[in-house]
Amino acid sequence: MPDRNPVVDLANISTRLMAGETADHALKATVVFGPGEVQDEEGEHRFTVVATRAFLKVKPEGMTTCLGSELGNDDGLVVAKEKKTVKTSVGVEGTVGAELDLAVADGVPIKPTLAGSAKGAYSAEREFTQERSLPAVKYRGSEMWELCEPSENGKERKPLNRPLIGGRVLLELEADTASNRRTAHSQLSVYQRDLDFKGGWLNCLSRNQKKLFGILAAKTLTKEPALYSGTVVLASSEVGDGDA
């Protein structure tokens, strides 16, 4: 079965079912994202679309997922490391003073004064570096992966604009002996809220208009707009063991 990529410039997927190392089959995938551009015939309306987060869902048929084989646990997927250095210092400062008074009899008062002080300071500096992996591909369970560029502040998402997964094994599958048809259906989808629309023409619209334009565009991208429910399937792929 061929890969189906109706918006190949925005996102496309390609999967292959191979013989697995530890199981019967291994599903390999490549997902590529980029900005998609749209303009009307007159060139008056022009805008670009990028996805900021997508979900990849795999549905095996006639096969069972080998638990623990899902992509997302290995270090190979680490695309960025956040380094945080924390410095702490401890300081102690003290002063010690002494005074001596002497008075001698025989009417001669002698009052020598002895004063002294000592100052001591101690400080220690500790430094430790904390490293945190920020993967772009996160396994979310139930054969589903979240694809999202790591962001520094954790709030604003960056656009997806590069190949991800890169032909790695998504998961390994054991064949069900009772079934004679073995396929793996993969679907790449986004929520409307994760599509970012930009363009000079859109700047002429108010915020409310821009937001509703985004929904209108997402509906247009849906195969059946009447069934639209906030999710857009960007690409899908189906492979069977006969294709291997």
Partner 1 sequence: MPEGFLQDHFDAGFFGAADQAFTDGTTNITKLARRLAFDPKRDFRYADLTGVDFSESDIRGWDFTGADLRGAHGIGVKMDDDPLIDGADVEGSLFALRAERRALLLRHPELRPEVNRRASMYWSDAALWTDDQLRKSGPVTLEKAALVRAVFSLMTVPDSRAAMVPFMGRALAGKREYHDFLMHLFASDGVSGHVGRNAVMQLSQNFRDEPGAFGVLKRIALDVRHDGILRRWALEGVLASCFFSDAVTDIMQASVELNEDGRRAFVGAFAQRFGKEAHEAVKSASGKYLDLPLRLTYDKAMKLAEGSLSREKREYGWRDAPPAFSDKRAEGKKGRAQVIVEHLERLQEAGLPITFASDIALLFQTDEKRPETQKRDEDRRNTGGVILQDLTAQSG
72 and 196 Cβ atoms separated by less than 8 Å: no
Q: Is the Cβ of residue 216 or residue 244 nearer to partner 1 in the bound state?
A: 216
Tokens of 27: 């599903």
Question: Cβ of residue 153: shortest distance to partner 1, in angstroms?
Answer: 14
Question: Cβ of residue 32: shortest distance to partner 1, in angstroms?
Answer: 13
Question: Cβ of residue 204: shortest distance to partner 1, in angstroms?
Answer: 9
Tokens of 103: 């008075």
Exposed e or buried b per residue across 177-216, where buried means at least 16 C-beta atoms within 10 angstroms of its C-beta = eeeeebbbbbbbbbebebbbbebeebeeeeeeeeeeebee
**What residues form DSSP beta bridges with 58?**
186
Give the residue ranges of DSSP H helices in 154-230.
207-221
Question: Cβ of residue 39: shortest distance to partner 1, in angstroms?
Answer: 7
23 and 63 Cβ atoms separated by less than 8 Å: no
Q: Is the Cβ of residue 134 or residue 197 nearer to partner 1 in the bound state?
A: 197
Q: Is the Cβ of residue 186 or residue 192 nearer to partner 1 in the bound state?
A: 192
Q: Is the Cβ of residue 111 or residue 223 nearer to partner 1 in the bound state?
A: 223
Question: Cβ of residue 223: shortest distance to partner 1, in angstroms?
Answer: 6
Residues that bind partner 1 (CB under 8 A): 4-10, 36-41, 45, 49, 191-195, 205-209, 211-217, 219-221, 223, 228-231, 236
Residue bearing tokens 């001596």: 100
Residue bearing tokens 């623990």: 68
Tokens of 125: 């500096």
Q: Is the Cβ of residue 55 or residue 145 nearer to partner 1 in the bound state?
A: 55
